[in-house]
Amino acid sequence: MSGLETVGQLPRHVNVLKVPHHGSNSAANRDSLDAGEGLIENVTADNYVVSADGTSTNPSAETLKRIVDAAPAGSTIWLPSPRTASASKSAKYYAQQLDGLAALVAGTAITVKIGDGTPQVIDLT
């Protein structure tokens, strides 16, 4: 039984999905992604939380695209780290990912919220 099968009926929708491994695609099984059987493809959310700052090249552009492709209208993608969250090389990578994400959501009903580095609380009321 795969990990996704343990959560019950798929596909499913949740209020908040904390995107695993800081938005990396490196740990994903390529065959399951190609078959549309990944977490992001099977669990949609009102809020996607991607806890990354560019360190270790996270989040990946591919993961961000998968989120935008799967996210229902009205969803929000939360990135709690500011554009300049990490050391210069990582910050440059992270800024590029944020620019790419902005282009992906342009013209959609998906919102992107970027934090300022302070602890974040998501008010779901």
Segment 21-46, tens digit of pLDDT: 888 876 555 566 666 667 888 889 99
Per-residue pLDDT, averaged over 88-104, amounts to 89
| Count of beta carbons in the 10 Å neighbourhood of residue 42 | 16
Segment 41-70, tens digit of pLDDT: 888 999 999 988 888 888 999 999 999 999
Question: Is the pLDDT confidence value at 110 over 80?
Answer: yes
The rounded percent of the chain whose pLDDT value lies above 70 is 75
76-79 β-sheet, strand order: 12-18, 43-49, 76-79, 111-114
pLDDT at residue 1 in the model: 39
DSSP-assigned letters across all residues of 66-119: HHHHHPPTT-EEEE-S-TT-S-HHHHHHHHHHHHHHHHHHTTSS-EEEE--SS-
